[in-house]
Chains A and B, each alone.
Chain A
Amino acid sequence: MKTTLAAALLMGGLAWGAFAHADDKVIVLDSGEAKLSLIDEASRTVVGTEPTGKEPHHLMITPDGKSLIVADSVSNDLMFLDPHTGKVQRRVEDIEDPYQLGFSPDHKWFVTAGLRLDRVDIYRYNGQDVTLAKRIPLAKTPSHITFASDNKTAFVTLQDTGEVAAIDLPTQTVLWKLHVGNTPAGLWMTPGDKYLLVGMTGEDNVAVVDWHNRTLVKKIQTGRGAHNFRNLDDGKHVVVSNRVESTISIIDYTTLTKVGDITGLRPGPDDMELSADKRYLWVTFRFAKHVGIIDLNTRQLIDTIAVGRSPHGIYFANSAPVYAPNPD
């Protein structure tokens, strides 16, 4: 298993502690205010803000680790930032409604989900620039993305129609759709590409999809408004934020069962990031204008930091790795 994970991590090329830098800042996207907040990880204080485009929701590191891409969904552009300091490096315009974004594990494809425009756009990536390959109309409200390790298949949740869609990247065609329930959102691929986990924001569970056979295997009860995922980098657990219940559930992905809840949170836990020492889980509270820090040893919320309106995506360079093929 460890070999598989290591290979996957290398293939993903995602941020390791090796990228740690003295100026490292935690970067939080305040999607309701067209700005990002820069937080000093050690002192847990906001040390600055930077303007972004309108409605920045999600962000991810480039495969070479040199830039952090912030997707401005209403401004229709991408901002490339220094992943350590949050300073703007460049802007790429005419990327339409990039609500969520992701690179295929082999870095050949860059995919954006247009929640507002009911479309998924697939771009070719040459290590520097993206070139549109195809726009795929995909009703309705495509939101989150993940990939299979075969580098051929991308998965997208369709919130309003309650489906997961599989897209063949080489031909840029929709392979199939599977109805999974009410308002599917976050996606997470279990190691070995066995199952696709789907956060069911309109329900109180995580759907487990055997995507090879296109079947819904089971639903793991977590909490109302199950939304997005973050692995705990321990080879066994992934957490899911429950946006209505305002809890975070811990799932053992080897047994596909819930093994615990983190409670006592502020309203609307959303995106999460894990510190490099794997002890602290940072989480944006979408409906409380705060970021929270959870000590995973005690499962307690130990600190909160006031940020801007509708905090959504969160990133820090010095974080525990995300298992490829899952984007950040």
Chain B
Amino acid sequence: MIDTLISQADNLVSWLQTLVYVDVVQPIFYKVGLMGYDEDTYDALYWVIVGVLEIVVMYAILRPLEALRPLESWGDRKALRADVWYTWIAKLGIINIAFFFLLTPLFNHWQSLMAIYNVPNIDVDSLWPGVTDRPLVSFLIYLAVLDFAGYWYHRWQHRFGVWWELHAVHHSQQQMSLWCDDRNHFLDDIIQAAFFAGISLFIGVQPSQFVVLVAVSNFMQSVQHVNARLELGWLLERIVVSPAFHRRHHAVGYGHEGTRYGCNFGVLFPWWDMMFRTASWNKAHEPTGIRDQLPAPHGNGVSYGEGLLAQQWLALVRIARRLAGKGYPMGGTAR
């Protein structure tokens, strides 16, 4: 049953991929002399179409939930406009294109050097022949390894001042919604892509055939940010990150302050937070955002920007200020 559904979904995406590629993209590439990117572009288009479908499905499922069971009521949704732009930019793979042109040659070179100088790496597929080379098993291993890496990447985003200023673009949203997940500084997106590409050098490349599961994990992250009352229950929220668990991470005074620079850093699974004692199961509803944004006397009334370009620019301004010794204090005191 599930196999059939996945197969049908794959057929639909593949049909759209061929249609768009043959009738639109390939003629343009041929015309402008980019046929050297023919195959890569065709493959990438699959993910672009998946991204578009993800947005459609996410909106169709989560938006009614937000309307019917809102956690917070807002006067208007203007603050969400920038997040919609971020989502389309991310899901259309525009950041990935930047990564492809800026950093892929470098990673290819490193990969070459690793082989030449016999730098050891772990081929997950061949760890246990007959078991780990099974697609589902290797995918789950990749998922756990990459989620573990994601947990630490996320902690470092909160730990180091300059990095935090980039990540603060994500946290500066005070109206969390289904659109919030992809709101990130583009530089941070590229650093993150490089980080995971670097890991891939040592554990192999994440198998692209698991597109449905990747889409599901993206969907889970959208769910985490949704502005809706959505209880997963005691057990399930200890298996996957719930909206309440992640909302705590965004809460002013809790999510990015304290001796560990915040709590609930898990991306998909809360296990790492439980393991490294950064989990908070407190479900008290708190306002989201950054204390620095709050008006005095609670904060400094600093604007983190309303539009996408302003948010991107102001992050760089804050980095410059931090490097000049005028940054918002890291850590602070958790309330």
- Residues of chain A touching chain B, judged by Cβ–Cβ distance below 8 Å, are 32-34, 51, 54, 74-76, 94, 96-97, 116-119, 135, 141, 159-160, 182-183, 201-202, 224-225, 243-244, 246, 267-268, 286-289, 309-310
Contacts and interface: CB of A to CB of B under 8 A. Distances in A.
Contacts of B21: 267, 287
A96 B18 contact: no
B205 A74 contact: yes
B36 interface: yes
A309 B43 CA distance: 9
A310 B216 CA distance: 23
Nearest to B42: A287
Contacts of A116: 108
Contact of B133 (A51, A224, A268): A51
Interface stretch (B26-34, B72-80, B268-276, B323-331): B26-34
Contacts of A267: 18, 21-22
B3 interface: no
A183 B115 CA distance: 28
A182 B42 contact: no
B111 interface: yes
B4 interface: no
Interface string B305-334: 000000000000000000000000000000
Provide the main secondary structure of the chain A interface: loop
Contacts of B133: 51
B10 to A, nearest CB: 8
22 contacts: A33-B209, A34-B207, A51-B133, A54-B205, A54-B207, A74-B205, A76-B115, A94-B115, A96-B115, A97-B112, A116-B108, A182-B33, A182-B35, A183-B35, A202-B30, A202-B35, A202-B36, A243-B38, A267-B18, A286-B42, A289-B18, A309-B46
Given A117-B112, A202-B30, A244-B27, A225 B35 contact: yes
A119 B36 contact: no
B14 interface: yes
A183 B43 CA distance: 18
B26 to A, nearest CB: 6
Given A96-B115, A117-B112, A287-B26, 12 more contacts: A51-B135, A75-B123, A182-B33, A183-B36, A244-B26, A267-B21, A268-B22, A268-B42, A287-B17, A289-B14, A309-B14, A310-B43
B112 A310 contact: no
Contacts of B93: none
Nearest to B118: A94
Interface string B15-57: 0011001100011001001011011001100100000000000
